[in-house]
Structure 1
């Protein structure tokens, strides 16, 4: 039974992260912040669906690579422009990213969480 909630099947994807990373993803995805209080943030697509939330400090120490990563696809515009835009917003290019000529660039958000930018 579908109610009037603008959420998807999953109401929220809760992540460990700082307020800074919530603001980064809001700008990177061009999604509005739907929550920004006491170091906690959440974003949601303007079309509705599942929210992505970051719980604020303390953030658990990172050990190795994340098992789960976001994958973003470049659907229009220049892939190099998108990479430069993400870097200007606070992402970092991971060592060896894009060296092989693949259609994938690996970056990290301001909290050091890896994500892939698919450019092909």
Structure 2
């Protein structure tokens, strides 16, 4: 038997800001938890196995580069338009040492958590 990834968990300071950003970015619905957390669920039309996201309250700000991060892909393949949409939602461009030749764009959410938008689905 092996383990499977069940959800993506992110420690955040502002549950409201972050749930609005990530739900809009992913098209997920939000359910607020009684403990100040929020759970984001994929839409019914999501691909099988799409992971839920749990935003849990954290006492401190993020420090340093993330050691892991999500890789997103635009479902319609329009990478440039999706970068602009995510920036309009509150993301910002992030420099983690990329050269510009990569097959992705590095962005950060409103609290500085890095993520990548892939130019094409992984193979």
TM-score bucket (shorter structure)? 0.7 to 0.9
TM-score, normalised on structure 2?
Answer: 0.74
TM-score, normalised on structure 1?
Answer: 0.75
Instruction: Structure 2: give runs of 5+ residues left out of the alignment.
Output: none
CA contact (8 A) 1:42 1:53 kept: yes
**Counterparts in 2 of 1:37 and 1:28: CA distance versus 1, 3 Å:** farther
* Match 1:40 to one of 29, 37, 52: 37
Secondary structure of the residue aligned to 1:55 is strand
How many pairs align?
111
Instruction: Structure 1: give runs of 5+ residues left out of the alignment.
Output: 1-7
The alignment yields a C-alpha RMSD, in angstroms, of 2.7
CA distance in 2, matches of 1:63, 1:54: 17
CA distance in 2, matches of 1:78, 1:25: 19
Runs of 4+ off more than 6 Å: none
Which residue in the other structure is 1:14 paired with? Answer: 9
**Counterparts in 2 of 1:51 and 1:77: CA distance versus 1, 3 Å:** closer
